[in-house]
Amino acid sequence: MTADSDIICERIGAAGVVTLNRPRALNALNLAMVRAMTPALREWAGDPAVTRVVVRGAGDRAFCAGGDIRALYDQGLAGDRESALAFWREEYRLNAMIARYPKPYVSLIDGICMGGGVGLSLHGSHRVAGDRYLFAMPEVGIGFFPDVGATYALPRLPGHAGLWLALTGDRVKAADAVALGLATSRVSSSALPALTDDLIAGRDVQAAIAARAAPAEEGPLAAERSVIDRCFGGASVEETLARLDREASPFAAAAAATIRAKSPTSLKIAFEQMRRGAELDFEAAIALEFRIVTRIIEGRDYYEGVRAVIIDKDNAPRWTPATLDGVSPADVAAYFAPLGPNEWRAA
């Protein structure tokens, strides 16, 4: 058993159980948690007595609301970029380990699941959404970009839903998450403790989940899927906005307004990510993300976005450049350029 105030990794019955244990911080992920979880997963992969991994969040508000943005902001602002990059380098290695994990990896997601929390759950074999499930990748709103494997995963969602999520940061609840493949099943919050007991007892993973799964139901996004596919299939962010503007629907108008409030640089990066990611394997996608993060923390928008949304909470970021036409193709390409000896590699 490995225990830390922020994370608990323990063997219980047939399961390796990870509890993200920062409920007051919405279980936000930090480097110490990554460094506790990584060796635990490695040990359980080789332990025949552990037949599955179960990951859950403490408290009733969040599975994991993302990385510890304030700490990373402080490190970057102080010029300690290498400490910030150490977090992303190791977090991305953990994401890659989860994506290739040799045993059932069950995330019980009953609350907020954003950013780093998506990286801990989306790439595993079983993603169980509770009643409080709430997914988003809102990074373009803080001058960042959808990372933790989003470059691989989002382009593989149905239609153009992945680009919609990347550019808007919109939130998705449980029923729609199952329809999109973000979650593999939906189980009511009240049934999750019993499901956890079944998994710990060694019951067949798929059978245990199926026995407690809620009936499939249509979420509110179903009515908007055709709009998403019409509008988010264009060749640029600008074309996407033009298509949204031509749609006579409140959903399209809201999406356009949301996108226009985001960092123009982040929007252009995210669009190019989704284009490239459709052709990459998982580890190549993660390596691409490390190239981007290495450059983005040298710029201005990330710090301005975190200031506006997280620190001062004025929600009035001043982006540089301020408009999409101020971000050139060469500007975007620079974020994706190889890093030479500093390229990310899986452990």
What's the CATH code of the domain at 167? Answer: 3.90.226.10
Q: Mean of the pLDDT values across residues 224-247?
A: 98
In a domain, 162, yes or no: yes
Question: Going by C-beta distance under 8 Å and a sequence separation of 6 or more, which residues neighbour residue 35?
Answer: 90
What share of the chain in percent tops pLDDT 70? 99
Per-residue pLDDT of 259-304, as tens digits, reads 999 999 999 999 999 999 999 999 999 999 999 999 999 999 999 9
Lowest mean pLDDT among 19-23, 76-80, 128-132, 337-341: 76-80
Distance (Å, whole) CA 294 – CA 289: 9
Task: Provide the domain limits for residue 213.
Answer: 2-221+257-342
- Residue 76: how many CB atoms within 10 A of its CB? 19
Tell whether 239 is covered by a domain: no
Res 225 pLDDT > 90: yes
* pLDDT digit string, tens, across residues 166-182: 999 999 999 999 999 99
Average pLDDT over residues 305-319: 97
Residue 54, pLDDT > 60, answer yes
Q: Say yes or no to pLDDT of 195 above 90.
A: yes
Active site residue 130: no
pLDDT at 4: 52
Q: How far apart are CA 341 and CA 122, in angstroms?
A: 29
Catalytic residue among 6, 139, 176, 272: 139
DSSP 107-157: EEE-SEEETHHHHHHTTSSEEEE-TT-EEE--GGGGT----TTHHHHGGGS
> CA 67, CA 31: separation in Å to the nearest integer?
9
CA 291 – CA 309 distance, rounded (Å): 24
Q: Which of 68, 147, 272, 301 is catalytic?
A: 147
Tokens of 286: 């993660």
Q: Which pLDDT value is given to residue 243?
A: 99
Task: Determine the average pLDDT of the residues in 102-124.
Answer: 99
Query: CB–CB of 60/24 below 8 Å?
Result: no
- CA 144 vs CA 128, 230, 236, 243, 329: distances in Å: 27, 26, 18, 24, 18
Overall number of domains in the chain: 1
Calculate mean pLDDT across residues 59-71.
95
Kindly report the average pLDDT of the chain as a whole number: 97
Nearest-angstrom CA–CA distance, 241 and 234: 9
Strands (E), 144-280: 172-173, 185-186
User: Residue 216: is its pLDDT beyond 90?
Assistant: no
> Is 16 marked active-site?
no
Label residue 2 by pLDDT band (50, 70, 90): low
pTM: 0.97
The confidence band for 204, taking pLDDT boundaries of 50, 70 and 90, is very high
- Tell whether 288 is covered by a domain: yes
Options 57, 66, 67, 305, the catalytic residue:
67
Q: Is residue 241 domain-resident?
A: no
Confirm whether 230 is domain-assigned: no
Residue 88 lies in a domain: yes
| 244, part of any domain | no
Q: Is the pLDDT of residue 1 over 90?
A: no
Domain presence at residue 245 = no
Cα 54 from Cα 109, distance rounded (Å)? 11
Mean pLDDT, residues 329-340 taken together:
98
Q: Is 116 a catalytic residue?
A: yes
- Residue range 37-62: mean pLDDT, rounded: 99
As to burial, measured by CB atoms within 10 angstroms (0-12 exposed, 13-18 middle, 19+ buried), residue 258 is middle
The residue annotated as part of the active site, out of 16, 76, 111, 116, is 116
| 147 assigned to active site | yes
Three-state DSSP state, 212: helix
